[in-house]
Amino acid sequence: MIKDISVIVPAYNEERRIGKTLRKITAYLGKRKINYEIIVVDDGSSDRTSAVAGSFSNPRIKILSSEKNRGKGYSVKKGLLSAKYGIALFSDADLSTPIEDIGKLERYIDDYGIVIGSRKEKGANVVEKQPPWRVMAGNIFPLFVNIMTGLGIKDTQCGFKLFRVKKCRQVFKKMTIDGFSFDVEMLYIAKKKGLKIKEVGVDWNNDRATKVRFVRDSFSMLMDLIGIWVKSIAGRY
């Protein structure tokens, strides 16, 4: 059972979702009497993301702001490196996986370095409201990932992952990808370092609003994947 947790929430122009998300997370952790910090990483948002997070006047909600928009990978890394508790969760700002699903992951955290939410593992319950091109990309991307990295993980991209911070610190430090392929690099480095990774089926109620710009981001994800592959064969990890 978790006693303390650092929750990292990457947020880019999330003024409309972040308030509800922070209410849900604090209510859940409060109810379970888990001691927490929530680190909202505001990634150069041009809207009121930081103001909304700040309006809670909750000293356990911290805001890390970047001056300009750097990407989800950059922000998650920054948040994870500043986590002060032994267990950290990173969660998308829209809680597509509900915060209660921590319960499904935490069972494994004593035995694994990283426990990741998965939409392709037994027990997953995906309420699929993603448009067809996203669903298709979601099926093709893992094929590329597994050919190029041999990771053998069914769903690297779910925005709900739990870490043993001490064990993973060396992994976080080595991450170089600012964009959406960062999960692949993180898991690749973790595997390379011999950390055990567990994939657990979670709920996924996809929130239709998205910050992903499909063509631009798919292209850069592919480029980043090639980058990981090149670095891996060059022995840079």
Judged by CB under 6 A, the residue of 22, 29, 87, 94 near ligand GDP is 94
Cβ closest to ligand GDP, residue 132 vs residue 235: 132
Using rule CB under 6 A, residue 212 touches ligand GDP: yes
Nearer to ligand GDP, 79 or 112 (CB): 79
If one asks whether residue 14 binds ligand GDP (CB under 6 A), the answer comes out as yes
What is the rounded distance in angstroms from the CA atom of residue 110 to the CA atom of residue 219? 37
Which residues make up the interface to Mg ion (CB under 5 A)? 94, 96, 207
CA–CA gap between residue 114 and residue 124 (Å, rounded) = 18
Shortest distance, position 124 Cβ to Mg ion, whole Å: 16
CA dihedral sign, ordered 99, 104, 109, 112: negative
- Please report the DSSP string for 126-142 in residue order: EE--S-HHHHHHHHHHH
Residue from 5, 6, 7, 10 in contact with ligand GDP (CB under 6 A): 10
Task: Count other Cβ atoms within 10 Å, centred on residue 111.
Answer: 9
Q: Kindly tell me which residue out of 3, 123, 210, 223 binds ligand GDP, with binding defined by CB under 6 A.
A: 210
Q: What is the DSSP letter of 6?
A: E
217: nearest Cα among 174, 182, 172, 171: 182
> Which C-beta is closer to ligand GDP: that of 93 or that of 195?
93
The answer to whether residues 153 and 199 touch, using CB atoms and an 8 Å cutoff, is: yes
155 binds, among ligand GDP, Mg ion, none (CB under 5 to 8 A by kind): none
| C-beta of 8 vs 195, nearer to ligand GDP | 8
Does 96 contact ligand GDP by CB under 6 A?
A: yes
Backbone angles phi and psi of 24, in degrees to 5: -65, -45
14 contact partners, CB below 8 Å, separation of at least 6: 21, 45, 47, 49, 93, 94
Q: Does residue 45 bind ligand GDP (CB under 6 A)?
A: no
Query: Which 68-87 residues touch ligand GDP, going by CB under 6 A?
Result: 69, 71-72, 75
Structure-block tokens of residue 191: 């595997």
DSSP letter for each residue of 24-40: HHHHHHHHTT-EEEEEE
Can residue 125 be called a binding residue for ligand GDP (CB under 6 A)?
Answer: no
Q: Does 93 bind ligand GDP (CB under 6 A)?
A: yes
Q: Is residue 218 close enough to count as binding ligand GDP by CB under 6 A? A: no
Instruction: Rank residues 21 and 149 by Cβ distance to Mg ion and give the closer one.
Output: 21
Contacts with ligand GDP, residue ranges (CB under 6 A): 10-12, 14, 41, 43, 69, 71-72, 75, 92-94, 96, 159, 207, 210-212
